[in-house]
Amino acid sequence: EDPKAFWDPCCGSGTLLVEKLLLEKKIPIGRFRSFSFESWPSLDVDRYQKAKEKMENEVKEWSGLVFGSDVDAKVLEAAKFNLEKAGLMESVELFKADMSHVERSRIPTACDIVSNPPYGERLKRGKETLRAFKTWPKMNSSWRVSILLPSSQRDQGRRSLLSFRNG
């Protein structure tokens, strides 16, 4: 059974929080914007409208808990702005916290912890951050932890399900 909670401890501007909620609620990508192809003369407008309506009819409620935290209050404001813009803020709890010192009781027992922490020059305490991610599964065996890291910083002792390059 999939956990009903999701936490990004380095949420930054909230990208993973928005993506998680769009996925769980089956909200169509692009729902909140228009695309330039919509003005192309070759577009079958009726067919496109029907496809959009079908996707809108598949949108559902989701009762899971979504948490986002970060040490930087300014980026939490950016996350709040982005979540509000997407119409998803009511589904998220944001809080200011250092991810390596969050109280265990704050995070539900069944939880996916997923993060794309700042790395390289943006992360001054990189080793401390990686240590925190490694210790969490020991703190609660029900937590599933996934980190997006460049291959140069990935711990060779951990299993890598997917390798990719950014840029």
Confidence band of 113 (pLDDT split at 50, 70, 90)? confident
Question: pLDDT: is 99 or 53 the higher one?
Answer: 53
pLDDT of residue 33: 80
pLDDT of residue 18: 94
State how far the Cα of 39 lies from the Cα of 147, in Å rounded to an integer.
Answer: 40
pTM score of the predicted model: 0.77
Least Cα distance to 74 among 96, 46, 50 occurs for 96
How many residues can be counted in the chain? 167
State how far the Cα of 40 lies from the Cα of 73, in Å rounded to an integer.
Answer: 43
Least Cα distance to 9 among 98, 75, 80 occurs for 98
Q: 48-59: per-residue pLDDT in tens? A: 999 989 988 988
Answer whether 154's CB lies under 8 Å from 117's CB.
Answer: no
Mean pLDDT of the chain: 80
pLDDT of residue 154: 54
Q: What is the mean pLDDT of residues 9-27?
A: 93
Q: Residue 156 pLDDT more than 50?
A: no
Answer whether 122's CB lies under 8 Å from 156's CB.
Answer: no
